[in-house]
Amino acid sequence: MAKPNPKGPSRTVDIFCGKCKTQLFKYRKGGKGALVKCFKERIVNDYTTSPCICPQCESTFARDTLVLGTPAFKMIGGKVTMK
């Protein structure tokens, strides 16, 4: 399979912790579906101090993986919301 386009889509979404509503990322998301994964190269602003852990409530919201050979965060269902 092909790698994702690094420039990615122009539409950005804000990603928040599902528990404490702290902003985690500003992300260039493509498509209309649910947020399943975040490619690291598409993250515009990262508000976390350590990867995959919310800075406010210290809960784990994602797992660090490789998707299509590209580093990504695989979101845990129900742990994040987006606007």
pLDDT of 1 above 80: no
- In whole angstroms, what separates CA 66 from the centre of its chain? 13
**pTM listed for this prediction:** 0.85
For residue range 25-66, list pLDDT tens digits in order: 999 998 889 999 999 999 999 999 999 999 999 999 999 999
- Band (pLDDT 50/70/90 cuts) for residue 12 is very high
pLDDT value for 27: 94
pLDDT of 16 above 90: yes
**What is the residue type of 35?**
L
